[in-house]
Structure 1
Amino acid sequence: MEKEPSRLDQPQQPPASNSLENIARNLNPSSENFTEQCMQIGVGAPDVRALLTLFSIMPVHNEAATLCGHTFASKSLQSFDNDDLIVYKAIGEEKSVVNVLSDYTCSFCARFHNRIPELNSNGVTVRIFPYGRADYKVNGQPTAIAQNMATAMCGSSEQEKAQIFNDLISNQSLYAQKVYSQNEIADNCIQKAMTYKLFGDIFSRQRQTPLIFHPDGFVQIGDALT
């Protein structure tokens, strides 16, 4: 069965912007239409920057943006190909797949990361959406974190991407400031990292990591799977 294109690649015909703005301003997690309205905003915005703007005008008092970000991420990440993420495959029969927003500079992410071999042994495939909470540009130039995320995302193979991310998260303090590779990073890799940063800021409005998205839609914040 052919896989549906991910939200990053899928062209959309947005509803009238005023309509999306009205939905965003009045979004209520208690409404029975919350998920439908949240996804209408998610797929209706013409681009990621417009989407970020819509999330910025959602009500604060009811955590609409936070919950919509989780909802949008949970559904969107399921459509991502493995090539779009950093993947640690289950050993033997795959019983489950979890998608994880992970920042290699985050201590709780490192604690979760150390559990990946155990999860793999238990039949769980872990797919990492690399997301740095810190700024990706300073004075107009990509930071070390942006460059390192780009390097990991553009590894030549699934194994190389996983190994680079392992190295980064095992040496958090070092690679928070130091560039991982002295090789030139392709512009399209930097741009991909920048785009993922914007989507990550939408998925995790409070910049909390790790965020663990289970197949049934349950979203877990923290370093342990139960």
Structure 2
Amino acid sequence: MSVFFKVYIRALCLPMIVLLSTFVQAGESEVREAIQTALPQFNVAKITPHEASGLYVVEFDSGNTLYATENGNYFVAGDLYRMEGGGLVNETEQVKLAKLEAWPAEDMVIYEAAEEKAHITVFTDVDCGYCRMLHNEVPELNDLGITVRYLAFPRAGVGSHSYNKMVSVWCSDDPKALMDKAKQGIGIPENKCVNPIAQQRALGEAVGVRGTPTIFLSTGSIMPGYMPAAELAKELGL
């Protein structure tokens, strides 16, 4: 969730509850009207009922998500947890992970473990210092049985220098070789093709990526930032 969004939500939280309380009829249309009245600067992409909790899931174009009561009186800005087996399951993170798992593997740059025990999906930028630190540990991760799957997230945006370098990586005949060079700061040849870089960046924004590296574990947990290989293995239960 973006810093601006969080700050805005905190600032409007109490007056917004009063405002939303005027919308008392149940249903998606009432939730939509309440949210759009209270947050007109954010575009609602989709509203779906969450049957188990009785809440409505409100997704914005920005990638942020709110959970609203069916009568539009109240909302929650944050992750939705389910109590299960004496523990907690973060359903919001599970939804994000499902979006990543649905992404075609052929559009990723993948470093496969010889004997895979788990995998991580990493939003990366070839010019990010901490991304380079993590990349240096890819061989160790592979030795631990962890496959590393890269998605592109050029921090400076589409059309930036980093974006163009990542296009060159993804469009090359040997993406892993060029990824290795780019992560070492070595110049790489320019390549162009129809590529998924812009779409992957948009996917990152939709699942809450705000910096790189952002690591999604196959267990469903999200690690915002660099984490050493040994600690990642521990988080994965290896």
Structure 2 counterpart of 1:214? 217
Deviations 1:93-119 (A, max 9, x none): 211111111111211111111111001
Residue aligning to 1:146: 163
Deviations 1:117-176 (A, max 9, x none): 00101111110111111122xxxxx332222111222233xxx111111111111xx76x
Return the match for 2:144 from 122, 127, 132: 122
Alignment of 1:90 onto 2:98: no
Which 5+ residue runs of structure 2 have no aligned equivalent? 1-27, 68-75, 80-89
Separation in structure 1 between the aligned mates of residue 121 and residue 141 of structure 2, nearest angstrom: 13
Asked if the contact 1:74–1:213 (Cα under 8 Å) also holds between the matched residues in 2, the reply is: yes
Larger Rg: 2
CA distance in structure 1 between the partners assigned to 2:56 and 2:216 by the alignment: 19
Partner amino acid, structure 1, of 2:61: L
The one-letter amino acid paired with 1:144 is H
CA 1:151–1:73: 2 relative to 1, 3 Å: farther
* Structure 1 residue identity aligned to 2:189: S
Taking structure 1 as reference, are residues 182 and 72 closer, same or farther at Cα in structure 2, changes over 3 Å only? Answer: same
1:209 counterpart SS class: coil
When the two chains are superposed, the root-mean-square deviation of aligned CA atoms in Å is 3.9
- 1:134 matches 2:151: no
Write the distance in 2 (CA, Å) between the matches of 1:121 and 1:57. Answer: 37
Matched to 1:37, the amino acid is: V
Aligned residues: 175
Counterparts in 2 of 1:1-226, with a 5 A limit? 33=53, 37=57, 41=59, 52-53=61-62, 55=63, 62-63=77-78, 71-91=94-114, 93-136=115-158, 142-156=159-173, 160-171=174-185, 180-183=188-191, 185-186=192-193, 188-189=194-195, 192-205=196-209, 207-224=210-227, 225=232, 226=234
1:17–1:36 CA distance, 2 compared to 1 (3 A)? closer
**Which of 1 and 2 has higher RCO (CA within 8 Å, sep 6+)?**
1
| Cα 1:147–1:218 shift into 2, 3 Å | same
1:194–1:20 distance in 2 versus 1, CA, 3 Å: farther
4+ residue segments displaced more than 6 Å: 16-27
TM-score, structure 1 normalization: 0.62
Shift of 1:56: 5.8
Q: What is the distance in 1 between the residues matched to 2:129 and 2:201?
A: 19
Instruction: Mark the CA change 1:88 to 1:63 in structure 2 (over 3 Å): closer, same or farther.
Output: same
Tell me the TM-score normalized by structure 2: 0.59
Gaps of 5+ in 1: 1-15, 42-50, 137-141
Cα 1:210/1:19, change in 2 over 3 Å: same
Structure that is richer in helix per residue: 1
**3-state SS of paired residue (1:99):** strand
